[in-house]
Amino acid sequence: RFDRQVIISLPDIVGREAILKVHTRKIKLGKDVDLKPIARQTPGFSGADLANLANEAALLAARLNKDVVSFEEFEKSIERVIAGPERKTRVLNEKEKRITAFHESGHALVALITPETDPVHKVSIIPRGAHALGYTMQLPIEDRYTMGKGELMARMTVMMGGRVAEEIVFHEITTGAQNDIESATEM
């Protein structure tokens, strides 16, 4: 018996747009929906992720009793797929909110002043997923397949921005920086 391995790469921006067209063909889209910007905002998404995105957007519009799915539902669904669902039951005390706000501001500010980083798209201190108390979302302008040393160092610099902000403002760091250190170490 011979086994064959078939490798399927993640789709590029053109592929993501085509996949979104397939998964939205039975969904009534609002006039403000253009699939190109949605494809641009979803680098690294697989076909299954894109199907999930279209489904999440349709479910959100249905929950809001809308007749069509607008761009806003797609944006909210992208966040849900990337960072997980909002954790409305996870209530942060004022100190944790403040620490999280400064932490995420640190990431955003460092991203804004560091060359060779992707533009900041959104900053949030709304808890999402299993662990995130907040996040800073950066989206690339175009698909990239390689990364130079400068880009790699810039990404790690942005990851440390949250930890440094905590240290500057509060004179200590929290366990919130753990994921940033793990991600930088993985790079």
CA distance 173 to 170: 7
Q: What angle do CA 63, 69, 71 make, to 5 degrees?
A: 115
Residue located via tokens 């190109």: 36
Closest listed residue to residue 176, CA positions, set 186, 163, 164: 163
Annotation says 104 is catalytic? yes
Lookup: tokens for 65: 């009793």
Would you call 61 helix, strand, or coil by DSSP?
helix
Cα-only R_g, the chain = 19
Catalytic residue among 104, 166, 167, 172: 104
* Active-site residue list: 104
